Chain A
Amino acid sequence: MHIAVEHLTKRFGAVCANDRLTISFAAGQIHGVLGENGAGKSTLMKLLAGYLQPDEGRILFDHAPRRLSGPGDALAVGVGMVHQEPLDIPAFTALENLLCAAPPGVFRSRRAAQTALQELAERLGFPVDPAARLDQLTVGQRQQIEIMRLLLCGARVLILDEPTTGITAAQARSLFTALRQIAAEGRTVLFVSHKLEEVAELCHTVTVLRNGQVVPPGQLPMPQPQEYLLSLMFGEAGAEPPIYRPLPLIDAPPVWELHRVTARSGTLQLVDLNHRFAAGRIIGLAGLDGSGQQVLLRLLAGQLAPDRGRVLVNGRDLTGAGPIAFRQAGIEYLPADRLRDGMIGALSLTDHFALLQGRGALVDRRAAEEAARQAIAEYQIKATPITPIAALSGGNQQRAMLALVPPDARGILAEQPTRGLDVASARAIWGRLQARRDAGCCVIFASPDLDEIMEYSDEVIVCFAGRIGPPIPRALLSSARLAELIGGVGFDALVEAVA
């Protein structure tokens, strides 16, 4: 089926996730969709599959415009989407998942459904047991079942969102074979990915999204030079001169030491980490979403206990000691979602300082209010000491969260420290973090914004598919090289060169 969008626009609050997109995808081909985090790929796919409704513009299926009321409606038109995390019913068997979601009249009987499933599985080369419960299967097997379910329910357009994360290399190979087969049968495949090699191997065309727009307007035929695609995804890197700031030598034990650490979170596993994070540094963690940065931050904050290996903080072994022990050792964690994990929205800055007072049966409100006043003046927070945190703007919330970091903190872990902030607020936050660094703190931050990583890091660590690269001094790195590493280009060589 031919599928096209015209002037498709979707906004979330002030953010324009899809900005007047006009693209078309021809039938019988595999179309790659590339872009960094937040470029608008997922929004576009959810609009096409009926999970979201556009604010403006229209979607045409075989040249006929149609408004989708939901994913069921989309499947009736012939569009099916395979999500990154399987969206199925784990307690059901493969066959039951197929039956419970099938539109009425597709299968005459349970037996007919089973036969259809087995036939399709054979044609696509997916080994499948219709009676297997999905919670017994791997993510890759569940993905195969989901693809077959959509095809059997009449999907003529198949959307796959980052399908190769969390599956084995063998499963990826068999997925690619199947996708080629599906396209050869005249269906349309949309393949969303950030892995350039996969797009190069599989796709007939590629569409690059950046900041909610298609760059350059329209589709590109594959193959394309890798550097060109990278520059489209991340913007023109430009040849900025590297700013070399000699790192201060601080005569103190490293803030964190990891010895042969193995840790697991969800489907992501970090294996054999050996890192030392010295004091007086700002270390940027670069990588696409879910490449391991969050797991590393949680590991360093004590929220995640390693399966194996040791974690030392200021030279003391704190393996498995829990976040409160890490906090007492001077480690402060600043989460990306300030109101969900960082502060208590209904309470004021005074209340927060009162919570930090620690000892004494009664709250010393006067001291807490004095501390809040001081923080407001010093960090230029636009609030009164008794304004609820939830009523502050994002930038002021972030400043408040920084103001609450105790002065004797040795390590600060910041997840997207300037998320959702305007340029002036972001600069103010960075001024604060740099002051902490100069006072001897080790600041580790993760950010999807490469410019931010390049501008503020003393050292950069690239995370790729659950692997944590060695720290690279900022002076030795260019934006273009960083963009390559994030996409996995030359990552192995880098790791080997250091090892």
Chain B
Amino acid sequence: MLWLRQLPDRYTRMRLDRLKPLASLTRPLLALLAAFVLTTIALLSSGVAPLEAYRLILFGAFSTPVRLSDMIMLAAPLLLCSVGLSITFAGGLYNLGVEGQMIAGAIAAMVPLRLWPDWPPLLLWLLAGLSGAAGGALWALLIGGLRRYAGVSEIFAGLGMNFLASGLALYLVLGPWRRQTSASLSGTDLLPRELWLPTVDRLRLAPAAPVIALIALVIVWWALTKTRWGLEVRAVGLNPAAAARLGIVTARRMAETLAACGALAGTAGMLQVVAVHHALIPNISSGIGLLGLLVALLARADPRWLLPIAVAFAAFTVGSIQLPLTLGIDSAIAGVLQGALVLFALATRARR
């Protein structure tokens, strides 16, 4: 941008106007193309017809109602996590602990469900939701505390807390909360049927999950763009030194962004329990938090892009599940495509 400063105003504006649509379109397209080239090379090297594989990856999720509902049930927690991460990104933090916050939320959501299974389901869901959000927020605040008081980078603190959370989940599944018959890695006993979030008949689709995710998206978009809190968070994220000079308590804003992200990830964990697995399983987060990190990176934490990208990534993942059956290749190729997209998007953005 340095060269812009030396030009008279009118030229800058002209140049910028001409550059804008070009730059805003060519770079993402270039990244998209590069990601597909890389994925195609991976496919060709394993001797698979790329077009057939792409047909499954891109459109497989939309081929039957069951798959579509699976896609939506994956997109909902994914969107929740990436929405939460868009807050921490706005605040300049790399919350790699989102996975652990999701697990902590799932564990916390289990507590009221196990304590008072006879209470009315609606009340229990509400309690589980609050408890899950609080669990995730608390887990995230521990990261904030480590950063503030022990000088640990939130990246490493988050990664460490992820291991701690999954260890805790494993301990509960095999220990205090083990199945009545025998302890099993497949999870705790299933919740009573009436505590499962209601689903559309015969499908695994619980409409409450995507609705919650969409509400969260709208609220966060509003909070980040319209409220003073959002402006202050963005100021802290862009330049903590200057924000502090202007009178913002930066440490507090950072803690709040972490707590907000943790609460959303915890809600996602709660949904995994009451709407998807109906139990606590060791792998309750299923890598959704880290996939959410990719979504948030690709969307540049811009809330408007979160929904389409989260849906697309969920569709890739669900669509690729059929790959081993029909083409005899591993479904991990969806991960290659997702990873390559983010990588090339970052690379083309950095080239300025």
Q: Judging by beta carbons under 8 Å apart, are B249 and A324 in contact?
A: yes
Q: Judging by beta carbons under 8 Å apart, are B226 and A355 in contact?
A: no
A-B contact pairs, 11 of them (CB 8 A): A327-B245, A341-B239, A342-B242, A345-B239, A346-B238, A354-B231, A355-B247, A356-B246, A360-B228, A363-B231, A391-B12
By a CB distance below 8 angstroms, the chain A residues around B229 are 361
Q: Judging by beta carbons under 8 Å apart, are B243 and A344 in contact?
A: yes
By a CB distance below 8 angstroms, the chain B residues around A13 are 2
Q: Does A335 lie at the interface of the complex (its beta carbon under 8 Å from any beta carbon of B)?
A: yes
Q: Does B352 lie at the interface of the complex (its beta carbon under 8 Å from any beta carbon of A)?
A: no
B9, B226, B244: the one contacting A382 at CB < 8 Å is B9
By a CB distance below 8 angstroms, the chain A residues around B238 are 344-347
Given A333-B245, A341-B245, A342-B242, are A391 and B5 also a contact pair (CB < 8 Å)? yes
Q: Judging by beta carbons under 8 Å apart, are A341 and B231 in contact?
A: no
Q: Does A81 lie at the interface of the complex (its beta carbon under 8 Å from any beta carbon of B)?
A: no
Q: Does A343 lie at the interface of the complex (its beta carbon under 8 Å from any beta carbon of B)?
A: yes
Q: Does B178 lie at the interface of the complex (its beta carbon under 8 Å from any beta carbon of A)?
A: no
By a CB distance below 8 angstroms, the chain B residues around A361 are 227-229
Q: How far is the CB of B270 from chain A (nearest CB, A)?
A: 27
| CB neighbors of B among A369-403 (8 A) | 382, 390-393
Q: Is the interface of B mostly helix, strand, loop or mixed?
A: helix
Q: How far is the CB of B100 from chain A (nearest CB, A)?
A: 31
Q: How far is the CB of B7 from chain A (nearest CB, A)?
A: 11
By a CB distance below 8 angstroms, the chain A residues around B227 are 361-363
B1, B226, B234, B247: the one contacting A324 at CB < 8 Å is B247
Binding site for B on A (CB under 8 A): 13, 323-324, 327-328, 333, 335, 339-347, 351-352, 354-358, 360-363, 382, 390-393, 404
CA A382 to CA B5, docked complex, whole Å:
12
Q: Judging by beta carbons under 8 Å apart, are B244 and A352 in contact?
A: no
A355, A392, A393: the one contacting B246 at CB < 8 Å is A355
By a CB distance below 8 angstroms, the chain A residues around B231 are 351, 354-355, 363
By a CB distance below 8 angstroms, the chain B residues around A324 are 244, 247, 249
A341, A354, A363: the one contacting B242 at CB < 8 Å is A341
Q: Does B235 lie at the interface of the complex (its beta carbon under 8 Å from any beta carbon of A)?
A: yes
Q: Judging by beta carbons under 8 Å apart, are B247 and A356 in contact?
A: yes
CA A352 to CA B246, docked complex, whole Å:
8
By a CB distance below 8 angstroms, the chain B residues around A382 are 9
Q: Does B248 lie at the interface of the complex (its beta carbon under 8 Å from any beta carbon of A)?
A: yes
Q: A340-B241, A341-B245 are in contact. List 17 more A-B contacts (CB 8 A).
A: A323-B244, A323-B245, A327-B247, A340-B242, A343-B239, A344-B238, A344-B243, A347-B238, A355-B235, A355-B246, A357-B228, A358-B247, A361-B229, A363-B228, A391-B1, A391-B4, A392-B5
Residues of B within 8 A of A (CB-CB), count: 25
By a CB distance below 8 angstroms, the chain B residues around A342 are 242, 245
By a CB distance below 8 angstroms, the chain A residues around B247 are 324, 327-328, 355-356, 358
| CB neighbors of A among B137-183 (8 A) | none
Q: Does B256 lie at the interface of the complex (its beta carbon under 8 Å from any beta carbon of A)?
A: no
CA A20 to CA B170, docked complex, whole Å:
71
Q: How far is the CB of A188 from chain B (nearest CB, A)?
A: 38
A339, A340, A355, A404: the one contacting B248 at CB < 8 Å is A355
By a CB distance below 8 angstroms, the chain A residues around B249 are 324
By a CB distance below 8 angstroms, the chain B residues around A345 are 238-239
Q: Does B70 lie at the interface of the complex (its beta carbon under 8 Å from any beta carbon of A)?
A: no
| CB neighbors of A among B229-278 (8 A) | 229, 231-232, 234-235, 238-239, 241-249
- CB-based closest 6 A-B pairs: A341-B241, A344-B239, A344-B238, A344-B242, A346-B238, A363-B228
| Residue of B with least CB distance to A323 | B244
| Residue of B with least CB distance to A327 | B247
| Residue of B with least CB distance to A365 | B226
Q: Judging by beta carbons under 8 Å apart, are B1 and A390 in contact?
A: yes
| Residue of B with least CB distance to A328 | B247
Q: Mark B1-27, 1 if CB is under 8 A from A, else 0.
A: 110110001001000000000000000
CA A431 to CA B330, docked complex, whole Å:
71
CA A358 to CA B228, docked complex, whole Å:
8
Q: Judging by beta carbons under 8 Å apart, are B228 and A343 in contact?
A: no
Q: Judging by beta carbons under 8 Å apart, are A347 and B234 in contact?
A: yes
CA A335 to CA B5, docked complex, whole Å:
21
| Residue of A with least CB distance to B2 | A13
| CB neighbors of A among B199-233 (8 A) | 226-229, 231-232
| Residue of B with least CB distance to A324 | B247
Q: How far is the CB of B228 from chain A (nearest CB, A)?
A: 5
Q: Judging by beta carbons under 8 Å apart, are A335 and B245 in contact?
A: yes
Q: Judging by beta carbons under 8 Å apart, are B235 and A362 in contact?
A: no
Q: How far is the CB of A388 from chain B (nearest CB, A)?
A: 9
CA A340 to CA B245, docked complex, whole Å:
11
CA A345 to CA B2, docked complex, whole Å:
13
CA A423 to CA B4, docked complex, whole Å:
22
By a CB distance below 8 angstroms, the chain A residues around B245 are 323, 327, 333, 335, 341-342
Q: Judging by beta carbons under 8 Å apart, are A344 and B1 in contact?
A: no
By a CB distance below 8 angstroms, the chain B residues around A360 are 228
| Residue of A with least CB distance to B5 | A393
